Structure 1
Amino acid sequence: MSKIPNMPIFENAIVKRFLRMKKEETGSKSMEQYVGHIKMFFTFCGKDDPLEVERINVMDFRDHLESQNYTLKTKESKLGCLRGFFEYVNFMKPGFVNPVPKIKFMKLSKDKMIMSVEDKEKNQRQKWFDYDQLKEILNHARDYNYEIYMQLVIQVFTGCRIGEVVTLKKDNVKPFRNFLMTGIVENARKTSKEDPIYFVFSKRIGLILSRYMMYHKNKYGDQTEWLFPSLMDYQKHSSVRRIQTFLKKASEDLGYPIKSHAFRRNISTHRAKESKTSLEHREFLSNHKISSTEANHYTQISIEQRYEIYMENYPATYIKLESVIPY
């Protein structure tokens, strides 16, 4: 198990078993989130054994969170993770009483403060990008760095998570068959399931990707398996931090906030605005692993059928955008 702090609490048998269970159930990233919350709580209360924790320790921690500049959602998430952890402790030790009550934070956090109508409209606009903004962001990225630009092209036109994009292997991208596979690498998955998620894209984006593959072959040859290798070591993939650094700079240069996750929901927003997506195809076209029984039959269809459904629901904004962005 990786990324476990060298603290006595993480040597506890119940804590070890709980984190191992979380990793198996929901993947490494979820497990690491619990590690962070457990570390923060036990550092604050000075305990080394979960069985020694009392409700007064939790209430003191709650007051501490209340005084910090966290959003309401973050505060509730931290206590919610602790409640789940202590429910497991209670399961392992039936006589133990979960010390985390179902309490709410009363103080207003930044995300709950009263906003003016203008601020609300501005906040809503910042959750997605229109045609001019997408074009501006992509052109800005192309002027900055070709590989960063291609990472954004994949994000914008497929809705992949940035963690999935930087961990793409070149063999998992098929530009002339108009699809790619993500979630191959463990730390790019949101769950512990090992099957990949398929994303299809238009023929124009396939051509843009094929040109990048030629550039990749000329620059890297057989030195790396990664579509976007690390600058320092070609045996490693590029980091999420690298593209986040660019997006922060682009936000300052262009004058509006740019978060990588906004690209993920952007294509769905444009589909909705153009009334493109039918109820029949809605879950299939979402950029998540298909979960419902009704939609699960789509996992059995061919790539060609996936492509047809994707193009039938392709927003006009994106057709226009892909025709003007550089190769």
Structure 2
Amino acid sequence: MKETGCVLLKSGALTAEDLEKINRYTRRAFQEEELYTFSVVLCDNEVDRDMERFTIPALERLGELFLGKTGIFDHAPQAQNQAARIYDCRVECLPERVTRAGEAYHRLVARAYLPRCPKNEEFILELESGIKKEVSVGCSVAEATCSICGADRRKGECGHVKGRCYDGILCCTILDHPTDAYEWSFVAIPAQREAGVIKSFTEKGERTMEEVWKSLSGEGDLVLHAEERQQLAKEVAILREQAACGRQYREALEKSVVRLCGIVSPEVPHEAMERAAQAMQLDDLQAFEKAFRKRAEQALPLTPQLAPAEQRASTENREFQI
């Protein structure tokens, strides 16, 4: 049996397809308000604490084997330990991440459900608060080979030491061809380093700012990876810089509208125009500025004093020429 850490991710609203998949395992049809669901990263292709890793095809096969499996506690196969049931699985690729073995990072994400009832209220609270966090899976594989020489680790040691590098290649055990998936458990210390309760930006792993803003405004529940926090910090820094530039541009536009209004419509009180400009949308400000500027140029042509003589031939405002 292979035990490996996994990750929990909070899911969003259920779709009709989700309900259909869940109700395959229930004796009656359940509605969304009767269920609590979450997503679980069961395992991935990263090298874990035991210096073992799954192949990507192994993750695909495990996705089939884990359908319908129940979550328990501490790998104790007892009926009273059953906590939730998996109703959907998929393998996600995060191409921006590279594993220690040099592969694009892949993870097996399963979706699980449990009924909302007084008995489960404490368990749901522990999930939401992060108390119940670390989890691992129990499964068996047909192949466990050395990443350096391909020798079958089950038949004995090949001489290569797990954790060492040989000609730049990390030695680990490659797990392939899963034959069974027993269960997934909440544990204290999982094998995989990234095990723990987290929340992704979206259920499909596509990280968008929309889910972040919903969480920050109290509409969601989001806990970020260190990499995600760095990404968010960069996004916020960019937005702050853009916002500062936008404020400067708007302030300059408001002043220009007020100034030009004083030229073309001096009867409009200065304070009234200031208040109006501050209340305008940006598109309206731009439109007023364009119109006022055109009228101002017609009413008061502004020709540089050092312009060619033919441009200064008009006698208009000659008394102001040097």
| TM-score (norm: length of structure 1) | 0.21
Choose between structure 1 and 2 for higher RCO, CA contacts under 8 A separated by at least 6 residues: 2
Higher relative strand content: 2
Of Structure 1 and Structure 2, the greater helix share is in 1
